[in-house]
């Protein structure tokens, strides 16, 4: 959606602050992405030391991402609680059914609530925005069941608006590419293993080192399906890049390396649901 006019944008931010103020104290579920970073900074500006960051660190959350959250909190003097969670201990997660996100978020946010209550925090808030209402997101059900609030949605904020406000606030994430947990790279029904999570993580880290910014490495058995924006398809198919990627991915354990001609799109694993 196009960015709204400045007056409307500021009104939405004021509404967000009113929502946060009404909660008294909050623990922001902080992953270091565009939305949760903006929400955390808005909470700090609104509530001061009554806002903390709470970061779930499951196996599908990379050490690189964890370090980014820790650096941001340290630089902005925001208290942070890190909850190490092994999602493989959550019944049903490993089997990867279509409602895996519900299963995983129910287990993770249950743990986050325990940590928040120990800090005498009134509410956990998370960074879903209005754009998230348009896709298959079973994890949303867990959020609602556990009484977690989604202030960005309540304030009517869309992704492009959050990026614009983040830019105004000089947040380093204003133009950060969107990423999701590594478990979302698996086709539904395929068993998620620690080894394959590492394969995907290292494969995506390699693409980042080659200079690609927005991408996904989807895993189908031992086949990698790479998604990049349409404008990067010729770049990644270039002989030199293609040979480097193929060699690296095979060294990680992939038997086949493919390029998705439809290009990058969030939630592509959901496209086959109901078919």
Average pLDDT estimate for 122-136: 89
What CATH fold (topology level) applies to the domain 6-168? Rossmann fold (3.40.50)
- Mean per-residue pLDDT over the chain, rounded: 92
Confidence of residue 179 (pLDDT cuts 50, 70, 90): confident
Query: What is the model's pLDDT at position 270?
Result: 58
The pLDDT tens digits for 69-93 are 999 999 999 999 999 999 999 999 9
pLDDT > 50? residue 2: no
Exposure letters 178-213 (e unless 16+ CB within 10 A, then b): ebebbbbbbeeeeebeeebbebbbbbbebbeeeebe
Tens-digit pLDDT profile for residues 217-259:
999 999 999 999 999 999 999 999 999 999 999 999 999 999 9
Per-residue pLDDT, 135: 67
> 181 vs 193, which has greater pLDDT?
193
Model pTM? 0.89
Q: 2 with 142: CB under 8 angstroms?
A: no
Q: To 10 degrees, the CA torsion angle through 23, 27, 30, 33? A: 10
User: Hey, what are 120's tokens?
Assistant: 């005498």
Q: Of 235 and 135, which is predicted with more confidence?
A: 235
pLDDT 10s digits, 216-225: 999 999 999 9
User: What does the block give as tokens for 12?
Assistant: 């939405």
pLDDT band with cut points at 50, 70 and 90 for residue 1: very low
Residue 70 · residue 63 · CB < 8 Å: no
| Strand partners for 80 | 53
Domain ranges of the chain: 6-168, 182-272
Q: Which residues, 6+ apart, have CB-to-CB distance to 58 below 8 Å?
A: 85, 86, 87, 104, 108, 181
> In DSSP terms, which residues pair with 28 in a beta bridge?
53, 125
Q: In what order do the strands lie in the sheet with 123-125?
A: 80-84, 51-57, 26-29, 123-125
Residues 54-58 have a mean pLDDT of 92
What tokens does 57 get? Answer: 């660190």
**Residue 218 is encoded by which pair of tokens?**
């989807």
Task: Report the CATH number of the 182-272 domain.
Answer: 3.30.70
pLDDT value for 133: 87
């Amino acid at each position: 959606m196009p960015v709204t006019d400045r007056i409307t944008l500021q009104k939405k931010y004021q509404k967000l602050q009113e929502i946060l103020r009404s909660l008294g104290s909050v623990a922001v579920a902080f992953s270091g992405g565009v939305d949760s970073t903006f929400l955390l900074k808005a909470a700090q500006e609104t509530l001061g030391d009554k806002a903390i960051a709470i970061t779930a660190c499951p196996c599908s959350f990379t050490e690189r991402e964890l370090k980014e959250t820790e650096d941001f909190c340290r630089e902005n003097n925001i208290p942070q609680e890190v909850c190490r969670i092994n999602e493989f201990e959550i019944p049903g997660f490993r089997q990867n059914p279509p409602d895996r996100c519900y299963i995983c978020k129910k287990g993770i946010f249950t743990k986050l609530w325990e940590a928040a209550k120990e800090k005498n925090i009134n509410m956990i808030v998370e960074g879903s925005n209005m754009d998230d209402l348009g896709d298959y997101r079973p994890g949303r059900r867990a959020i609602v069941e556990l009484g977690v609030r989604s202030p960005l949605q309540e304030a009517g904020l869309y992704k492009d608006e959050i990026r614009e406000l983040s830019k105004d606030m000089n947040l380093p994430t204003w133009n950060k590419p969107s990423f999701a947990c590594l478990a979302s790279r698996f086709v539904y029904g395929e068993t998620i293993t620690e080894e394959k999570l590492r394969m995907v993580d290292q494969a995506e880290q390699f693409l980042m080192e080659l200079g690609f910014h927005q991408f996904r490495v989807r895993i189908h058995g031992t086949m990698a399906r790479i998604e990049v924006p349409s404008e990067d398809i010729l770049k990644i198919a270039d002989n030199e890049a293609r040979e480097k990627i193929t060699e690296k991915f095979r060294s990680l354990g992939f038997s086949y390396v493919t390029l998705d001609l439809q290009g990058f799109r969030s939630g592509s694993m959901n496209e086959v649901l109901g078919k």
